[in-house]
Amino acid sequence: MRTVTLEIDGKKVKAREGLSLLEAARDAGVHIPSLCYHEKLLPQGACRLCMVEISRKGRARLVASCAYEVEDGLVVNTQSPKVLKVRKVLWELLLASSPTLASVAQQYGVTETRFESDVSQCTLCGVCVRYCAEVKKANALTFVGRGIDRRVAFVDEVVSTGVCMDCRECFGLCATGKIPRETDGACFDGLTVRDFIGGRHGHHA
Amino acid sequence: MVRLRSPADLEKARKRILSQRDPRKPCVTVCSGTGCHAYGCDKVYQAFLAEIAKNGLQGKVEVRRTGCHGFCERGVITVIFPEEVCYLRVKTEDVPEIIETTLAGKGVVERLLYQDGDGRRIVQEGDIPFYKHQTRTVLGNNRFIDPKNIEDYIALGGYSALAKALCKMTPEQVLETVKKANLRGRGGGGFPAGVKWETTRNAPGEKKYVIVNADEGDPGAYMDRSLLEGNPHSVLEGLIIGAYAIGSHDGFVYVRQEYPLAVENLLVALAQARQHGLLGCDILGSGFDFDVRIHRGAGAFVSGESSALMTAIEGRVGEPRSKYIHTAVKGLWGMPSTLNNVETWANVPLIINRGADWFTSIGTEGSKGTKVFSLVGKVNNTGLVEVPMGMTLRQIIYDIGGGIRQGKEFKAVQTGGPSGGCLPEGLLDLPVDFDELTKVGSMMGSGGMIVMDEDTCMVDVARYFLRFLGEESCGKCVPCREGIRQMIKILDRVCQGEGRAGDVELLVELSEVLADASLCALGQTAPNPVLSTIKYFRDEYDAHIKQKRCPAGVCKALVSYYIQPERCQACMICLRKCPVDAISGDKKVVHVIDQEKCTKCGTCLEVCPPRFSAVVKLSGKAVSRAPVLAGKAARHERRRR
């Protein structure tokens, strides 16, 4: 496997080709926040908290470090003013919908949001959906709806086969704790597609 | 039908078709685009056939259904050749008169002609101002061609560019020509098509794909639909030429489910092209193989984004993915794929036939050729217009569009679809091309152009487009989904009169984050309607937030209706019509609106007789006053005192 050399926050870093910037940074001890990244899953690029500034040939731009692969000679800044500004607003947006993330957001210096609260307690990071599909191959969870109506739902036909009863691995993966909390931590009986995990109108909400 | 095995066969076929046609023979063409279908072109066409039979004119007059002419609001459009007499708004009951006057006789039916502002009647289509100022290189053939008949296309020289490319040019030469022509993508981004083709050509991959993007989803825009419906072979020919240059043997047309006629005509076109040996193995005897499949979209605006579109063709949900490796390198099924919009492909045969120098002679420094726009909104003439790049907004709106309806004031023009920007009167002399529009905070997009008049509230417009984008975003990434959600909330409260100091600044800050952090172009450009209205119409935001006023009188919470006591004739009309009984008064007693009860439906304003014009819409709050006597009664009362 070839390795490439790049610079992350002023540090020279050697990384395996094919690795993402996020993984290379974490390996080098540089922490980048993220919600939708999971080492066992394909990158999703959804939460955008892992945005970093890269520059090449003097041109700088923001990229999602979970989806951008390491390149030789790349200069990466994980703390540039632009990165910090984007990260702050993203945390504020997330807090408006998922207040349980307050303690995590606090670690990044964000203690309050300027946005109107519209609580769903789901960041739609999709770790549960993708883990269920990619790792468990069960596909018991899915996204429903589009745009601002997007939400996560259990697929009734799959849940009713009983596959979830022995698994429940999504419980521990849920960043906001919504899944264990709203599925009562135990019972999937009688759940239908309408019981939107991420929904603002579901009967659990 | 004969399989064409060489360019010579194609030329022979063209001559044969032309020899069977007499250009002097009268031909009635009936526009059969989707717009004219809505006006009943089917019945008009049938009426022509029946009347011609009735008058014993069979064989002497040809009747042909053609592609969209573009002046859709005046459908059904009927043009009678060879004189090119153009009749607008033709109905079945007009057909006998047309036959009698124009086909049996040689006169014209005056009342069906176009009439300009001064009352002059115009006979020929090309002399109508709407058409006169256009340069119809791409759309032009629509009006001659029956889209379901490949012979019509061949008769006009169709597929000769393909023959030239396949048999006289190497793929590299084709590529160089398109690059030299600097054909930029008509779908929105304006990326040079030749460069994209070259990237795909040079990228490693056992298979390569070429794709037509016909997922036109902008509200009010239908350039691509009309081209696909009206002249499907021109798109197909461009696609085959592109495939040859790139080294692709598989093509797709991704077309919206909402375009049934486009799909129908395209399917016919594909079948006829295959029968003629213009698709399939060994096209025109050149040894080049290529075929095309149609993929019908399931109606998602975001599927027009390249990675989402390709994901959808693969059979998964059409959601954009991170494109740090471009789809030209790693696209459909991970293979190098070139995606161009309908109009872009349709330009290719023209460039091959007439040369790159011809193409670059049209347009501006950075944007060559023509562009089709869907001119809609508050202009007198709405429809599809094709103009050289660099024509000014003013020329498009006033010379072609005929100015603003009902003599009202122009306020703004929105270009580039929902994620374009709103440009003010001060920018009307801006030459329209890719770079100029981007510079002023809008974009070319795929060519939507919505004209707004003085009655438009720009805050409300920004909210309208954001709501559209909020519904049409895939919802995958946080900045786009949550950012648009919050922007809508802010705009909602501004329109409700609950805007706060700092709201505009917050919108701007959110906009920057959306532009910088969103996963795809939908989120990155979503703030454009907000940013451009803040930039050019800041006073309207301030009026809403600081003075709780909607200057255009659109935002319901910020307007009120008021009856001017000195004008009210106490006629009882508004009082009776008010659906919530909010108006008090009596015969001879001036009417007054109870502002608490009023739901601001505007009925009183509508029904107040114009000779009184007593009801006015106020921006801001009106004051209720005690009923006073009106008109004669008031004068009588004064005299009595």
The 8-class DSSP code of residue B431 comes to B
Among candidates A93, A123, A124 on the partner chain, residue whose Cβ is nearest the Cβ of B486: A93
Burial class (CB in 10 A: 0-12, 13-18, 19+), B19: exposed
ipTM: 0.91
SS3 B64: strand
Q: In sequence order, what DSSP letters do the residues of B221-244 get, joined into one string?
A: --HHHHHHHH-HHHHHHHHHHHHH
Q: Does A96 touch chain B (CB under 8 A)?
A: yes
pLDDT at residue A186 is higher than 60:
no
pLDDT at residue B241 is higher than 80:
yes
Check B489 against A115: CB less than 8 A apart. yes
Check A64 against B321: CB less than 8 A apart. no
pLDDT at residue A44 is higher than 90:
yes
Among candidates B475, B479, B486 on the partner chain, residue whose Cβ is nearest the Cβ of A146: B475
B168's enclosing H/E stretch is: helix B160-168
B636's enclosing H/E stretch is: helix B631-640
Among candidates B475, B516, B517 on the partner chain, residue whose Cβ is nearest the Cβ of A124: B475
Q: Does B324 touch chain A (CB under 8 A)?
A: yes
Provide the number of CB pairs (under 8 Å) joining chain A to chain B. 103
Among candidates B322, B506, B513 on the partner chain, residue whose Cβ is nearest the Cβ of A45: B322
Residues facing B21 on adjacent strands: none
Predicted confidence at residue B456, as pLDDT, reads: 96
Among candidates B469, B477, B509 on the partner chain, residue whose Cβ is nearest the Cβ of A89: B509
Task: Enter the pTM of the model.
Answer: 0.91
Report the gap between the CA of B518 and the closest CA in chain A (Å): 7
Check B519 against A115: CB less than 8 A apart. no
Residues 6+ apart with CB under 8 A from B357: none
Taking contacts as CB-CB distances below 8 angstroms, the residues of chain B near A60 are none
Cα separation, B278 vs B290, in Å, equals 9
Q: Which residue of B has its CA nearest to A86?
A: B513
Check A89 against B477: CB less than 8 A apart. no
Break chain B down into helix, strand, coil percent, rounded to 5: 45, 15, 40
Predicted confidence at residue B627, as pLDDT, reads: 52
pLDDT at residue B634 is higher than 70:
no
Q: Does B498 touch chain A (CB under 8 A)?
A: no
Pairing between strand A75-77 and A3-8? parallel
Report the gap between the CA of B201 and the closest CA in chain A (Å): 23
Give the model confidence (pLDDT) of B559-580 as tens digits. 999 999 999 999 999 999 999 9
- A4 within 8 A of A71, measured Cβ to Cβ: yes
What is the average pLDDT across B222-230? 95
Taking contacts as CB-CB distances below 8 angstroms, the residues of chain B near A82 are 516
The confidence band for B172, taking pLDDT boundaries of 50, 70 and 90, is very high
The confidence band for A135, taking pLDDT boundaries of 50, 70 and 90, is very high
- A15 within 8 A of A3, measured Cβ to Cβ: yes
Q: Does A68 touch chain B (CB under 8 A)?
A: yes
pLDDT at residue A107 is higher than 90:
yes
Q: Does B511 touch chain A (CB under 8 A)?
A: no
Cα separation, B380 vs B378, in Å, equals 7
Give the angle B71-B74-B76 at the CA atoms, nearest 5°.
100
Check A89 against B324: CB less than 8 A apart. no
Torsion, Cα B19 B20 B25 B30, to 10 degrees, reads: -120
Q: How far is CA A180 from CA A135, A185, B183, B290, B317, in A?
A: 19, 4, 55, 53, 27
Probe site for chain A from B512, B513, B522, B524 (most A CB atoms < 10 A): B513
pLDDT at residue A193 is higher than 50:
no
Give the model confidence (pLDDT) of B90-129 as tens digits. 999 999 999 999 988 889 999 999 998 888 999 999 999 9
Cα separation, B583 vs B587, in Å, equals 13
Residues facing A14 on adjacent strands: A5
Q: Does A22 touch chain B (CB under 8 A)?
A: no
Among candidates B324, B472, B488 on the partner chain, residue whose Cβ is nearest the Cβ of A67: B324
Check B482 against A67: CB less than 8 A apart. no
Among candidates A96, A114, A146 on the partner chain, residue whose Cβ is nearest the Cβ of B474: A146
What is the average pLDDT across B507-536? 96
Give the model confidence (pLDDT) of A52-67 as tens digits. 999 987 889 999 999 9
Predicted confidence at residue A204, as pLDDT, reads: 39
B495's enclosing H/E stretch is: helix B478-495
Cα separation, B510 vs B359, in Å, equals 41
Closest C-alpha among B314, B231, B240 to residue B277: B240
The confidence band for A109, taking pLDDT boundaries of 50, 70 and 90, is very high
What is the average pLDDT across A21-48? 96
Check B478 against A45: CB less than 8 A apart. no
Check B479 against A90: CB less than 8 A apart. yes
Cα separation, B207 vs B205, in Å, equals 5
Among candidates B469, B474, B516 on the partner chain, residue whose Cβ is nearest the Cβ of A82: B516
SS3 A16: strand
Predicted confidence at residue A181, as pLDDT, reads: 82
pLDDT at residue B231 is higher than 50:
yes
Check A143 against B488: CB less than 8 A apart. no
Residues 6+ apart with CB under 8 A from A152: A122, A124, A126, A128, A129, A141, A142, A143, A144, A196, A197, A198
SS3 B584: strand
Report the gap between the CA of A89 and the closest CA in chain B (Å): 7
Give the model confidence (pLDDT) of B37-88 as tens digits. 999 999 999 999 999 999 998 889 999 999 999 999 998 999 999 999 999 9
pLDDT above 90 as % of chain B: 87
What is the average pLDDT across A8-19? 95
Probe site for chain B from A83, A92, A93 (most B CB atoms < 10 A): A93
Burial class (CB in 10 A: 0-12, 13-18, 19+), A40: exposed
- A78 within 8 A of A30, measured Cβ to Cβ: yes
Q: In sequence order, what DSSP letters do the residues of B517-560 get, joined into one string?
A: H-SSHHHHHTTHHHHHHHHH-HHHHHHHHTS---TTS--GGGEE
Cα separation, B240 vs B226, in Å, equals 20
pLDDT at residue A200 is higher than 50:
no
Q: Does B516 touch chain A (CB under 8 A)?
A: yes
Taking contacts as CB-CB distances below 8 angstroms, the residues of chain B near A96 are 482, 486
Among candidates A46, A115, A146 on the partner chain, residue whose Cβ is nearest the Cβ of B477: A46
Q: Does B485 touch chain A (CB under 8 A)?
A: yes
pLDDT at residue A195 is higher than 60:
no
Q: What average pLDDT is seen over chain B?
A: 93
Predicted confidence at residue A203, as pLDDT, reads: 39
| Length reported for chain A | 205
Cis peptide before B235 (omega within 30 of 0): no
B563's enclosing H/E stretch is: strand B559-563
Q: Which residue of B has its CA nearest to A60?
A: B516
Report the interhelical angle of B7-19 vs B160-168 (nearest 10°): 160
H helix intervals, B20-80:
34-38, 41-54
Predicted confidence at residue B173, as pLDDT, reads: 97
Cα separation, B178 vs B350, in Å, equals 10
Q: Sign of the C-alpha dihedral, residues A149, A151, A153, A155?
A: positive
Taking contacts as CB-CB distances below 8 angstroms, the residues of chain B near A68 are 322, 324
Two structure tokens written together for B357: 């120098």
Two structure tokens written together for B94: 């007009």
More confident residue, A115 or B297: A115
